[in-house]
Amino acid sequence: MEKVKRLDYVDVCRFLGISLIIFSHITVPNKVLQWLCAFNVPCFFVLSGFCYRLHNFDKEFVLKKIKTIYVPFVLFAMIYCQGGLSSWVYIFYGSGMALELGGTSIVLWFLPCFFTAVIIFSLMMNVCNRLKHKVWILIAGVAVMLVGAKACEMLKGAQPMLEKYGYPLNFDMAMIGVVLMIAGYYIRPIFDWLGEQKQWMLMSIAIIFFVITGYTVYLNLPESLNPSCAHVEMAMGSIGNYTLFFCNALLMSMALIGLAMLIDKWLKNKVLLLYIGRNTLSLLCVHVVLLLGVSKMFLLMGLEHESAEMMILQGIVTYVIVIIVSIPVIMVIRRFIPNMVGQ
């Protein structure tokens, strides 16, 4: 199979995306958290569709995705698990709620969700490629995903068991992820064209989308739908208004891609950004432990954030420390236990 050349700006975008996820797990002002959670996870689904290339949907493909996505999830979840063997049932169930009940890191919820979304999306794209009227079939598939996700949301509110444990492998959020992937697949030609235009066009689009979503994000705060999570949070199944959710997620993802393309053009030395961007799975799995270590260090030093400004400053310092420490950790994992990250 012909090896596909990596796009540097996509890796830069992954760096930006994982950075925003780390910031959302640091103590930050509520307004900042609401803004971050509106698109930090969705952008990874969009990027996956953005980079998709048609391939055979067969046993080899499924096994590869199990190795590169699902196996790392299980291994890290078991390492972080504080319960006994009975907790493994929660791990294999794979929902965010189940991971919390199993005493492992809830941050890992994304991996089984992403795995499920990739399988569904790839199957849909293969089916559409073999049939006539591809666009209409794909539109029908998107409708099925949206109706299915909404039905899951309604059923979850009516069934205490589902409300407690969520859906296996976060199947409900995976359907949302599939829609984002399809959108990412179809916006790729737009950015291929923009990449050949003047830089001010990219800059204008990024600024306009950031400004628009700086307002619309705060119109979609689903407190009434999930009082325990007063902001959009895919990990908790908290989407709010579907139209606002998808508009915010897509506009912010497009702004982030545009920003990444500009950074790729402006920066000559992007070694750090590219390295982190190509190892986001490793960083996703280890950053919570690093955050906990930095938090304890600040506690021992007697440092506490007494204002929003100090909270943001301490958050930035925490982020820098996590990135610096994560680099040797990622190197060790890749060198000695590559199976942990699906390599």
Which residue type, as a one-letter code, is found at position 149? A
pLDDT of residue 1: 43
Kindly give the confidence (pLDDT) of every residue in the chain, 343 residues in length, as a single tens digit, with 9 standing for 90 and above: 445 678 899 999 999 999 999 998 987 778 888 898 889 999 999 999 999 988 888 899 999 999 999 999 999 999 998 877 778 899 999 998 899 888 899 999 999 999 999 999 999 999 888 877 777 878 888 999 999 999 998 888 778 888 888 899 999 999 999 999 999 999 999 999 998 888 999 999 999 999 999 899 888 876 544 555 567 888 888 888 899 999 999 999 999 999 999 999 999 899 999 999 999 999 999 999 999 888 888 778 776 666 667 778 888 889 999 999 999 999 999 999 998 888 7
Chain centroid to CA 83: how far? 26
How is residue 295 written in tokens? 């938090």
User: Structure tokens of 275?
Assistant: 């390295």
Tokens 């830069």 found at:
12
Question: HSE of 3 in the Cβ direction (CA atoms, 13 Å)?
Answer: 2
pLDDT of residue 85: 74
Q: What are the Cα distances from residue 107, in Å, to 33, 120, 287, 294, 321? A: 16, 22, 10, 17, 19
Question: Cβ–Cβ contacts within 10 Å for residue 143, how many?
Answer: 11
Q: What is the 3-state secondary structure (H, E, C) of the chain?
A: CCCCCCCHHHHHHHHHHHHHHHHHCCCCCHHHHHHHHCCCCHHHHHHHHHCCCCCCCCHHHHHHHHHHHHHHHHHHHHHHCCCCCCHHHHHHHCCHHHHHHCCCCHHHHHHHHHHHHHHHHHHHHHHHHHCCCHHHHHHHHHHHHHHHHHHHHHHHHHCHHHHHHCCHHHHHHHHHHHHHHHHHHHHHHHHHHHCCCCHHHHHHHHHHHHHHHHHHHHHCCCCCCCCCCCCCEHHHCECCCHHHHHHHHHHHHHHHHHHHHHHHHHCCCCHHHHHHHCCHHHHHHHHHHHHHHHHHHHHHCCCCCCCHHHHHHHHHHHHHHHHHHHHHHHHHHHHHCHHHHCC
Q: How many CB atoms lie within 10 A of CB 134?
A: 13
| Residue type present at position 280 | T
Query: What is this structure's pTM?
Result: 0.93
Q: How much is the pLDDT for 28?
A: 77
Which of 227, 272, 285, 267 is closest to 106 using CA atoms?
Answer: 285
Residue 54 Cα distances to 47, 67, 126, 190, 343, angstroms: 15, 20, 7, 18, 22
**Could you tell me the two tokens for 250?**
């897509």
Look-up of token digits 């790839």: 122
Choose among 219, 221, 214: nearest CA to 251. Answer: 214
* Tokens, residue 109: 């919820």
Rounded to whole angstroms, the Cα distance separating 115 from 67 reads: 10
